[in-house]
Chains A and B, each alone.
Chain A
Amino acid sequence: QKEVEQDPGPLSVPEGAIVSLNCTYSNSAFQYFMWYRQYSRKGPELLMYTYSSGNKEDGRFTAQVDKSSKYISLFIRDSQPSDSATYLCAMSEGTSYDKVIFGPGTSLSVIP
């Protein structure tokens, strides 16, 4: 089993739809959880960051963490064509600086 698994996509939705992106993980020591957005041929951009179970909201984005189920999600409300990108989940234990583990990414297309 891979340490971090992510719905591979690609995912295609109409503009204005609610998007749900998901990751599962196996290491119960993970404490920090991140979502990155990556446009083609660009470096990943940090979107959301949380270190606790529950929901965190930032504008149209909501990150959800369920440590008991080892499951994290990113919700995008009122999706826009500019949200079309690859979304990467990432997580770390926080005690070892080298171990930020990434999921393989989900490709999202928002159709106008």
Chain B
Amino acid sequence: SQTIHQWPATLVQPVGSPLSLECTVEGTSNPNLYWYRQAAGRGLQLLFYSVGIGQISSEVPQNLSASRPQDRQFILSSKKLLLSDSGFYLCAQLDRESEKLFFGSGTQLSVL
């Protein structure tokens, strides 16, 4: 079965600082990977998805970027964080056979 690793669990960063969140998956090859953001009391907003190495699609133009340097690694980055970037960031993987979406444990980002 697949396992999704996300770290750190909690992050507090000042406005204008850079960001790098990493997600790695185990137990599968060539996965579809996703970054979602969840604002307090709100649903999940799809930020980026990737169907393979170097292939990134952006859903919402914003201050963030994503990269997929390896098959099982997905990275969310920012050069300069904004207050509005605060939220709960979740990495997810789609099982292509079942169409089921599985999530990592998430990173709570607070930009102050």
Pairwise interchain contact A102-B44, C-beta atoms closer than 8 A: yes
Question: With contacts A41-B108, A43-B90 known, is A102 near B102, CB below 8 A?
Answer: no
Question: With contacts A98-B57, A102-B43, A103-B43 known, is A43 near B106, CB below 8 A?
Answer: yes
Q: Which residues of A81-98 have CB atoms within 8 Å of chain B's CB atoms? A: 88, 90, 92, 94, 97-98
Q: Which residues of A35-82 have CB atoms within 8 Å of chain B's CB atoms? A: 36, 41-46, 49, 51
Question: With contacts A32-B99, A90-B101 known, is A100 near B94, CB below 8 A?
Answer: yes
Q: Which residues of B51-93 have CB atoms within 8 Å of chain A's CB atoms? A: 51, 57, 59, 88, 90
Total interface residues on B, using CB and 8 Å? 26
Q: How far is the CB of B101 from chain A (nearest CB, A)?
A: 5
Pairwise interchain contact B32-A97, C-beta atoms closer than 8 A: yes
Q: Which B residues are CB-close (under 8 A) to A105? A: 42-43
Pairwise interchain contact A88-B43, C-beta atoms closer than 8 A: yes
Total interface residues on A, using CB and 8 Å? 23
Q: How far is the CB of B60 from chain A (nearest CB, A)?
A: 12
Q: Which A residues are CB-close (under 8 A) to B104? A: 43
Question: With contacts A34-B100, A88-B44 known, is A97 near B51, CB below 8 A?
Answer: yes
Question: With contacts A43-B103, A46-B101, A97-B51 known, is A104 near B42, CB below 8 A?
Answer: yes
B98 close to A (CB within 8 Å): yes
Pairwise interchain contact B49-A46, C-beta atoms closer than 8 A: no
Question: With contacts A97-B32, A102-B44, A104-B42 known, is A41 near B106, CB below 8 A?
Answer: yes
Pairwise interchain contact A97-B106, C-beta atoms closer than 8 A: no
B46 close to A (CB within 8 Å): yes
Task: Report the nearest A residue to B91, measured CB to CB.
Answer: A43
Chain A residues engaging chain B, CB cutoff 8 angstroms: 6, 32, 34, 36, 41-46, 49, 51, 88, 90, 92, 94, 97-98, 100, 102-105
Kindly list 16 other residue pairs between chains A and B, CB separation below 8 angstroms, not including A94-B99, A97-B51, A100-B34: A6-B43, A32-B99, A34-B101, A42-B105, A43-B4, A43-B105, A44-B44, A46-B100, A46-B102, A51-B99, A88-B43, A97-B32, A97-B96, A100-B94, A100-B101, A104-B42
